[in-house]
A and B are shown apart, each in its own frame.
Chain A
Amino acid sequence: MSLDLDILTVRIPPQDNPECEFFWQSGADGKLRFKCCQDCGYFSHPPTPRCPKCLSTKVAPEAVSGKGTVLSFTVNVQQWIPGQAPYMIALVTMDEQPDLRLTALLVGVALDSAPGDVIGSRVETRFLSRDGIYYPTFVPEGSPA
């Protein structure tokens, strides 16, 4: 059974922003993309118009594996929005580069897991499509499609 990714009662969308539009549309074909420098190969996030490493203007969205390792996480319990069930947020280091990180929801992990079982665990990316936005969402690697 596939995982339910739609776990937030209220989803705050990103503001329209030409710089980042590719990121929020990227999931249309099921792939996660980050800006990548076509000269030096450096991935960066959040997106900027120049490579922050070599300052090249030749940066373009490039698909990544979507796989990574959990660096840290938290289970949000407080009901900032009444009725919202607890959920897990994770900070994930993507496989492509040691300093390429993304914060996103992590779904499919027991909320009472020992921290040591979550930190360092392998995850991959799925997408929740809502109102024209594709929200990347992490799930344990190998979760049912």
Chain B
Amino acid sequence: MSNNPERLSFISGIGRSASGRRLGRTAMDLTLEAALEAIEDAGLKREDIDGIATYPGGDAIASRGFGGPSGQQVQDALRLDLNYIYGSGEGAAQLGAMIEATMAIASGLAKHVLVFRTVTESTMQGMKGRNPGQGMQAASGFMEFLAPFGAISATNWFAQVAQLHMHKYGTTREQLAQIALTCRTNAGANPRAVYRDPLTMDDYLNARMISTPLCLLDCDVPVDGSTAVVISHVDYAKDAPKIPVHVNAVGSAQYGRPSWDQYEDMTSMMAQGVAKQMWSRTDLKPADVDVAELYDGFSIITLAWIEALGFCAQGEGGAFIEGGQRIARTGDLPINTHGGQLSEGRLHGFGHVYEAAAQLRGEAGERQIPDAEVIVAANGGGPIAGAMLLTRGISS
């Protein structure tokens, strides 16, 4: 298994723009800030970058801040010649862009790929409001059989997953709360987090409902910000200035129906296949994982990832996180050490990878997990999923 192609690449540089609520800056402005920081962090010059990959390769204005600039727009803004470019909202969730980059490197198409994800959802909500159906004249695509029935928000879709999980397995709101409480505690040690004030169980239980059983504190906080990484060929590792963050294994599988309401086991999600594939590509086991940076667009997604990745059995996630000790920074499986999207802000998946890399390099400051060597980063929820197993240094 040591010759999996993804092992030919490593994260050589990480960068991020300012992030926060309603910054009022353009998506390109934020993207260039993050990209140039990542390139410098990798010890490279911009002309060394010969590949770009992004998620979702969209349009910041038309998508209400969900999509950042396209890869070509960034290529042009930096006047780059590229051997490879990729941008898609499909693929293995947000991480699909990083997995594509590893494969471009493994196949020899590119040597240094800039991968970025930019959101300006907070500023756009300030300009255009929060109604996800606003401006939608008619529902098409996957929304055709959701929006006409009032299921216009992702909160509604994930709420039904949480409701069924609770009903079938006895998971409680108090258990689910531990995702939000843990993230908030961790955010207290992250100067860049949006919400850093301590949160109590009472705060959680008294928070207003959004879509039962999910309350406001189960939902992530939209922000503006851009995150970038440079993924390079391992040949460069000996010259790179920072501790290499190696890609040990990736998971991109999509098993079962890619649907918000037609997936066979509605207590779970596409994460299951991704985890199965990722573990099949490595000798490492769930017990070897020091830290888990698990997507938390909604708290229930993190719970589903904990189960899918095999940290506990399907349905036992509630008991696994009960009390919060196990997933705290001092616990057996620290999660979302930066505060996650629930408290740091919704950098949409890439924030988890940035944090994973910072932890593996020992650059996470007050929230550093001692001797973190193996970290899993997982992105996506519902029908969208991707995962990467990252290690400190280049493994043989």
Contact = CB atoms under 8 A, between A and B. Distances in A.
B206 interface: no
A12 interface: yes
Contacts of A45: 145, 262
Nearest to B153: A80
B366 to A, nearest CB: 34
B163 A119 contact: yes
A65 interface: no
B131 interface: yes
B138 A14 contact: yes
A13 interface: yes
B210 A103 contact: no
A16 interface: yes
A77 B262 CA distance: 24
A18 B362 CA distance: 56
Residues of A in contact with B, size category: 35 or more
Contact of B153 (A20, A78, A91): A78
Contact of A77 (B144, B147, B151, B211): B211
A115 B214 CA distance: 13
A20 B144 contact: yes
A71 interface: yes
Nearest to A112: B212
A109 B244 CA distance: 57
A76 B157 CA distance: 10
A80 B164 contact: no
A71 B149 contact: no
Contacts of B270: none
B139 A13 contact: yes
A17 interface: yes
B163 A12 contact: no
Contacts of A119: 163-164, 167
A105 B150 contact: yes
Contacts of B139: 12-15
Most buried by B among A13, A46, A80, A115: A80
Interface string B138-165: 1110001111111111011001110110
Given A73-B160, A99-B264, A80 B167 contact: no
A77 B155 CA distance: 11
Interface of A: 8, 10-17, 20, 45-46, 71-78, 80-81, 87, 89, 91, 99, 101-105, 115-116, 119, 133, 135
6 closest A-B pairs by beta carbon, nearest first, are A74-B159, A15-B138, A15-B140, A72-B164, A72-B160, A77-B209
13 contacts: A46-B145, A71-B266, A72-B167, A73-B163, A74-B213, A76-B155, A76-B156, A77-B211, A81-B133, A103-B145, A104-B149, A115-B163, A133-B148
Interface of B: 130-133, 136, 138-140, 144-153, 155-156, 159-161, 163-164, 166-167, 208-214, 261-262, 264, 266
